[in-house]
Amino acid sequence: MQAAASGFGKTAAPNVRTLKLAESLFIPIAALVVSALVFSLFLLVIGKSPIDFFNLVWTGGFGSSFSFQNTLQRSAPLILTGLAFAVPARIGMTIIGGEGALVLGGFASAAVAIPLVTNGVPAFITLPLMAIAGMVVGGIWIGIAGWLRHYRGVNETISSLLLSYIAIAIMNFFVEGALRDPASANKPSTMPIGDAYRVGSMPGTDVHWGFAAGIALAILLYFLMSRTTFGFAARMTGGNPRAALAQGLPVGFLVVSCCVIAGACAGLAGFFEVAAIHGQANASLVAGYGFTGILVAFLARHNPLAVVPVAILFGAIAAAGGLVQRRMGMPDATVLVLQGIIFVVLLTSETMYGRIKFFQPGTGAERT
């Protein structure tokens, strides 16, 4: 009887992996709910209706075919910048310089396009070269932060943030100087690449191919980080770098490689911003996608596959900003307040992992 009861307990008790998965889903969702409640209190204090606000967010993000496609369009760079934060996080690094890699990658794409477009090089050659330039420059830029972290002990959070400001300064230097298009009097920009060299939309939609590229890259990086020896070694290094070194793992190579991959993702986002949205490099590239991508990656728990739906959620919030402004008489930056509250609550919720008894093995059915 005792053996049967013991066997029943072991069978009924959920395994550790299931509990961890449930916890990783429950805590971010709970953080979103708490954030919505806090933001609702903020709206009530300023005399606005939380119900009206969230209805407008739903309408502006998903209420129609146009709204939904606008959401997907805005989520494309968030997927890529979310991946730019999530990949180094798997190796224990906090890289917040995705904005700089996006800006510099976009600028590099536009700079490469100038001689190619001027000399009439076909678009099917020019666009891949632009994408490669953006990814290479972005990869090198974040790779510098990884190199400084491993070989010089420089904190990667600080170095990547400072590199972002340097990247923006480099773009402004050339856009307002040697590479400035004389026709851009009011807003300094590089020469337009022209409609023939723009990235088109996916068939039957107004969403550019950057969204599809983001999904494909998220799937690829999920398998790289979860189903390969490289990903296993990266996770080992992130868990305990000294133990990884003792096991003979190439920690320096892993650190720099993850940073290069992250920078390439952000640089690709810059390419699509130039080739699909703006058509040239200018100050519009500094749109904050790199910083919002940090929030996306946090909420996705650094899982490349989960980055996609979370990016769509934040794309919807951004897409609804104009509608909120028109209907409720509130600034467009109101959605940034919501994003800020979500980020603070998410950071607070990090302390809850491993502390909720319901999600701990050895509780529940096994104790009954």
Could you read off the pLDDT of 325-334 as tens digits, one per residue?
888 888 878 8
Residue 365 contacts residue 12 (beta carbons within 8 Å)? yes
Helix axes 304-319, 334-349, angle to 10 degrees: 150
Is pLDDT above 60 for 364? no
Tens of pLDDT, residues 18-27: 877 788 888 8
Across the range 178-186, mean pLDDT stands at: 90
Of 10-14, 114-118, 357-361, which range is least confident? 10-14
**Beta-carbon contacts of residue 67 (< 8 Å; ≥ 6 apart):** 59, 60, 61, 319
Please say if the pLDDT value at position 132 is more than 80: yes
Tokens of 166: 């340097």
Cβ-count burial 202-234 (b if 16+ within 10 Å, e if not): eeeeebbbbbebbbebbeebbebbeeeeebebb
- Checking if the pLDDT of 367 tops 70, the result is no
| Distance from C-alpha of 167 to C-alpha of 141, rounded to nearest angstrom | 8
> For 40-49, b where at least 16 C-beta lie within 10 A, e where not — what string?
bebbeeeebe
- CA nearest 225: which of 90, 112, 320, 351? 90
Mean pLDDT of 3-16: 51
Whole-angstrom distance, CA of residue 301 vs CA of residue 99: 20
Residue 194 has pLDDT above 60, yes or no: yes
1 or 155, higher pLDDT: 155
Quick check: 7 pLDDT over 50? no
Q: Higher model confidence: residue 5 or residue 97?
A: 97
CA 318 – CA 260 distance, rounded (Å): 28
- Which residues are 282's β-sheet partners? 189
Length of the chain counted residue by residue: 368
pLDDT value for 119: 94
Q: Cα separation of 131 and 112, whole Å?
A: 10
Using left for φ > 0, alpha for ψ between -120 and 50, and beta otherwise, residue 150 falls in: alpha
Separation of alpha carbons 251 and 108, rounded Å: 30
DSSP state string for 233-296: HHHHHHH-HHHHHHTT--HHHHHHHHHHHHHHHHHHHHHHIIIIIISS-BGGG-SSHHHHHHHH
- DSSP 8-state class, residue 94: -
Q: What is the pLDDT of residue 335?
A: 87
pLDDT exceeds cutoff 90 at 4: no
Q: Quote the mean pLDDT of the chain.
A: 90
The model's pTM: 0.90
